[in-house]
A = this chain, B = another copy of it.
Amino acid sequence: MFSIGTMSDRTGVKVPTIRYYEDMGLLALAERTAGNQRRYDQAALDRLTFIRHARDLGFSIEAISELIALGEHPDQPCAGASRIARDQLADVRARLARLQRLEVELTRIVAGCSGDGTLDQCHVMAALADHDHCVTEH
């Protein structure tokens, strides 16, 4: 049986975050010692590892919650899990596309300023004031 601190050390998830995941229903209520401290088993550690990895991949708490619920029924078709992962990928790609547009604009804006003029001639301020200076919608 592991204390919450051990769980934290093994997964890299901070102690208050573990408690938060419990509140959110991602982790089952842990057993308690006579003194009311949480004690976890291997299954709980595995689940926390799963959660950590899914969070690192950008899945929301809600999506992870659904994945865990699906995981309770391993005999079911995996279409649901597959859909959640594809949704997440679509989300990542959308954010990626947006950031790429921002990168283009910001690079242009920054390149236009050497940093040694005065502000009223500054390309940075002018570019921010007027979207027409941009080459893309963003």
The answer to whether B77 touches A118 (Cβ under 8 A) is yes
What's the minimum C-beta distance from A96 to chain B, rounded to whole angstroms? 5
Residues of B contacting A106 in the complex (Cβ-Cβ under 8 angstroms): 57, 85, 88-89, 92
Report, nearest first, the 8 A-B pairs whose CB atoms are least far apart.
A78-B122, A74-B120, A82-B115, A89-B106, A78-B119, A79-B115, A81-B124, A82-B113
Taking the closest CB of chain B, its distance from the CB of A104, in whole angstroms, is: 10
CB distance from A63 to the nearest CB of B (A): 11
Taking a contact as CB atoms under 8 Å apart, the answer to whether B92 and A128 are in contact is no
A29 within 8 A of B: no
Residue A99, interface by CB 8 Å: yes
Which of A2-10, A18-26, A45-53 touches B?
A45-53
Q: Collect the chain B residues with CB atoms within 8 Å of residue A49's CB.
A: 129-131
Specify which of B46, B79, B110, B118 is in contact with A74 (CB 8 Å cutoff): B118
B103 touches A96 (CB 8 A): yes
Q: Are B128 and A53 in contact (CB under 8 A)?
A: yes
Alpha-carbon gap, A56 to B98, bound state (A): 10
